[in-house]
Amino acid sequence: MKVKESYHRLDPTWCKGCGLFGVFDALKRAAVALDIEPEELVIVTGIGCHGRLNNYFRAYGFHGLHGRTMPVATGIKLVNPSLQVVAVSGDGDAYSIGLGHFLHSVRKNIGLTYIVVDNRIYALTLGQASPTTDFGTVTVSTPLGSKDFPIDGPSLALAAGGTFIARGFSGEVAHLASLIERGMKHNGLALIDILSPCVTYNKVNSYDWYKKHIFHVEDLPGYSPKDKAKAWEALISPEKIAVGLIYEEDKPSFEELVLPDRERPIASLDLKVDVLRLGKIQDRFR
């Protein structure tokens, strides 16, 4: 049996109160619930405060370039589908510089868990507006107020054919952990967008603010995450932000389609040179 300490490498040094503590804890809880060996888990992170997660979390890790978590994680998953691959990004990573990769990975339905920690600001670069920053917000890059309208990751994922779309709140760790756990079990890409306060650069979207502005879809009478129309309705709700498992669908995963009936993962193939077989292939050039 695993315990949270099985995945604990170092105590984080994020700002006191940062939403990432809740994410860190929820991810450990989900791993404990699924009893994953740290060796079987790969955490792929992008650039931003969330990227430090690899230093604190004990598992195989890949801390790559800004915005490129999805292609790296896809390469890992296809080469060894038995691995549990969790990609973690920030809002800048997933919804700005890596938006193309995000949508195409959703479209591919590759078997990854994609955790997007959305704090509505670029924190590591000291406070610029992000793609989820509210219109009109004054930041160091938008002293006259942001002139860009924010975009919504889960809505984009639904439009792109996403098969598991959830939103959590880093102030509700147990709930978040259960979403991550379900996402890890999902066949295909599971998006878990996380509302996560930045206590240093975003004084508006605080824990209290989120508590007042979220609602849980599971509390809606008759809500079913299998109903796409209901999912849209929840996502475009003008008053409050929908939290919970918003949409879920069965669809073959990319690895099932690309690697049907494989005896061995690519990672453990024998690369012995098959002289006869290659010779037959070469005969076509004679």
Partner 1 sequence: MIKDLSVMIAGKAGDGVLFTGNVLAKLLKRHGWEIVTSRDFPSNIRGESTCYTVRASLDKIYGLSDQVDILLAFDCEAILAHLPEIAANGIVFCDGQGLTMPPPEQTRGKTFHRFSLRALAREQFGQEIFKNVIALGALSYLLDLDPSLLDGIFSEMFLKRKGEEVVRKNVQAARFGYEKAREITAEAERHPLTKKADDDRILISGNEAIGLGALAAGCRYFAAYPICPASEIWQWLVHYLPDFGGAVVQTEDELAALNMTLGASFAGARAMTSTSGPGASLMMEAFSLAGMAEIPAVIAHVQRMGPATGMPTKSQQGDVLQWIFGSHGEFPRIVLAPGTVGECFDLTVGAFNLADKYQCPVVILTELDMGQDFRTTRAFDFSRVRVDRGKLLSPEKLLGTTDFKRYELTADGISPRSLPSWKNGVHLAESLEHDEKGYRDEDPLNRRRMMEKRMHKLDQASPDLFPPQTWGCQKAEVGFIGFGSTLGAILEAMEQLRVKNVPSRFLQLRTLWPFPAPEVREFLAESRDIFVVEHNFSGELATLIKSQVSPCGELKNILNYSTRPFTPREIVEPVLRSRR
- Where does this chain bind partner 1 (CB under 8 A)? 38-40, 42, 44, 52, 54-55, 58-65, 68, 70-76, 78-80, 82-83, 100-101, 104, 258-259, 262-264, 266-269, 271-275, 278-279, 281-282, 285-286
The DSSP output letter for 207 is: H
Q: How far is the CB of 234 from partner 1 (least distance, A)?
A: 28
Tokens representing residue 33 in the block: 């619930």
- Measured CA to CA, the distance from residue 273 to residue 275 in angstroms comes to 6
End-to-end CA distance of the chain: 59
Cβ-based nearer residue to partner 1, 69 or 133: 69
Closer to partner 1 by Cβ: residue 64 or 188: 64
The least CB distance from residue 92 to partner 1, in Å, is 16
- Sorted by sequence, the CB contacts under 8 Å of residue 174 that are 6+ apart come out as 26, 29
99, 70 in Cβ contact below 8 A?
no
Residue whose CB is less far from partner 1, 63 or 216? 63
Give min distance, CB of 201 to partner 1, in A: 21
If the CB atoms of residues 44 and 177 are measured against partner 1, the closer one turns out to be 44
Q: Can you list the positions of beta strands (E) in the chain?
A: 41-45, 60-63, 84-90, 113-118, 164-169, 190-195, 214-216, 241-248
Q: Which of 171, 210, 197 is nearest to 26 (CA)?
A: 171
- What is the rounded distance in angstroms from the CA atom of residue 252 to the CA atom of residue 259? 11
* Residue 15 C-beta: closest distance to partner 1, Å: 17
Nearer to partner 1, 59 or 180 (CB): 59
For 83, 135, 252, the CA distances from 163, given in Å and listed in that order, are 20, 29, 10
Angstrom distance (rounded) from CA 154 to CA 58: 28
Tokens 């994020």 map to which residue? 14
Shortest Cβ 257–partner 1 spacing (Å): 10
Q: Output 15 or 259, the one with its CB closest to partner 1.
A: 259
> Which lies closer to partner 1 via its Cβ, residue 144 or residue 275?
275
Q: Look up residue 82 and give its two tokens.
A: 């038995």
Smallest distance, partner 1 to C-beta of residue 143, A: 29
Distance (Å, rounded) from C-alpha 38 to C-alpha 178? Answer: 19
> What is the closest distance, in whole angstroms, from the C-beta atom of residue 57 to partner 1 in the complex?
10
